[in-house]
Amino acid sequence: MKIAILQFPGTNCEYDTQHAFASLGAETQIVWHKAESLPSDTNLLVIAGGFSYGDYLRSGAIAKFSPVMKAVKEYAYKGGNILGICNGFQVLTEAGLLPGALKRNSGLHFISKHHTLKVENSDNIFLKKLQTGDIVNIPIAHHDGNYFIDEAGLADLKANNQILLRYTDKEGNIKNPNGSVSSIAGVCNKSKNIFGLMPHPERAMELILGSDDGIKMLEGFLTS
């Protein structure tokens, strides 16, 4: 299993992501944003979290113009699996590869803490090691994690089972930390090969760090 991990100026989670997948037995390669192609044997492309280009203009708004994004789009359109985590999610929405947009948290503050999530749909490669309705404890760390989509777009997400995760409490009741529409924490595209979420599963790989619920989330990509 070969995982390619994108790195932009300002990315700061690429090595956490590399460590997480390597701990699961995957081969990893970090790809600089000026690359014009992806490794030919890539099985999964991950756009890691951080602050690409310092989050100038909007989070992910400049990264979508990086040279590597042409190859990313070609990989996506050919059905390649892509996972965007935090800033990676923002990049994917800015690039038009995922629906919706990420805007400033409703409280206007950076949030960094563990937060429980409810799995809304597990009929996809990303969450297939989990069950719909499962509750997982995954760290969040963002300033612009407020997911927005209009009513028509939200109805489309629901109709196609594209809502992956919602922010909840430990009992599965809605507990929204950032103002996201319908408390959405993660979505996928209609073809279910492109996934984005604001929480950081790569930071939930060891109980000593607060949770190992990220293992089952990432393992899905390795058991296809």
pLDDT digits (tens, 9 = 90+) for 132-180: 999 999 999 999 999 999 999 999 999 999 999 999 999 999 999 999 9
| Residue 86 known to be catalytic | yes
CA-CA distance, 65 to 57, in Å (whole number)? 13
Identify the active-site residue in 86, 94, 120, 142. Answer: 86
pLDDT digits (tens, 9 = 90+) for 90-145: 999 999 999 999 999 999 999 999 999 999 999 999 999 999 999 999 999 999 99
Burial environment of residue 40 by CB neighbours within 10 A (0 to 12, 13 to 18, 19 or more): exposed
* Beta carbons within 10 angstroms of residue 173's beta carbon: 10
| Residue 200 known to be catalytic | yes
Mean pLDDT, residues 30-51 taken together = 96
User: Per the structure block, which two tokens stand in for 165?
Assistant: 């995760």
> What pLDDT score does 224 carry?
59
Per-domain boundaries in the chain: 2-222
CA-CA distance, 166 to 127, in Å (whole number)? 13
Q: Look at the block and give the residue holding tokens 């989509």.
A: 149
Identify the active-site residue in 14, 94, 120, 202. Answer: 202
Angle at 86 between CA 85 and CA 92, to 5 degrees: 70
CATH class entry, domain 2-222: alpha beta
pLDDT digits (tens, 9 = 90+) for 6-30: 999 999 999 999 999 999 999 999 9
* Beta carbons within 10 angstroms of residue 120's beta carbon: 24
